[in-house]
Structure 1
């Protein structure tokens, strides 16, 4: 799994193009402030491991990043451009669902960007050391 995490002062998206036929139709965007934005690429090799172990590894990384940025809001964004390897849609969606639930149980405010869409993104992110962290998990 590859993860690019950014602390964002402001983040918003608007659905631009649906790229998976069997996902629900979404036309509304959303906006957030003071959040951790996680661009997540779940890879095929992740499916060889237990989904709960992958979810725990991801959530621990996101919680660490949030603590370093004094933040309690996390946005999960499936971003299939950090690696050539891709996990199945089903595995990725399950991992995101489990990660979001674990974060909520730890008193984080969470959101997911629409799965199966290309999105118009607006990002305002400050330029300091721990505002952007890339990791292979």
Structure 2
């Protein structure tokens, strides 16, 4: 059995990939803080089955109007956050930089925790197999 097939390792890998994707989305939100009409987005947390595999499969995106995002621009699992009414600027932008910075810091901390657990799990497996 390979290390990649262990449920704990798979769950940690999925979690780290989710944090990487979320960091990219948060960076896009910050980069578009002055873009008129921009709505901040976030990535839904992965739902995992008992084996550590994502539940739900791939989402299909349908382009029903010419103004919609092209299929290569839309990303499954992403959603626009509902900003409170007072947070939307007159130009329609709803990005709150303080909130995005807090999300970024929390996301980075959570990623480091998952990476540390991943590293410790691999180290423990090496010790168990005598390959220290």
TM-score, normalised via structure 1 length: 0.28
* Structure of higher CA gyration radius: 2
Q: More strand by proportion, 1 or 2? A: 1
TM-score, normalised via structure 2 length: 0.29
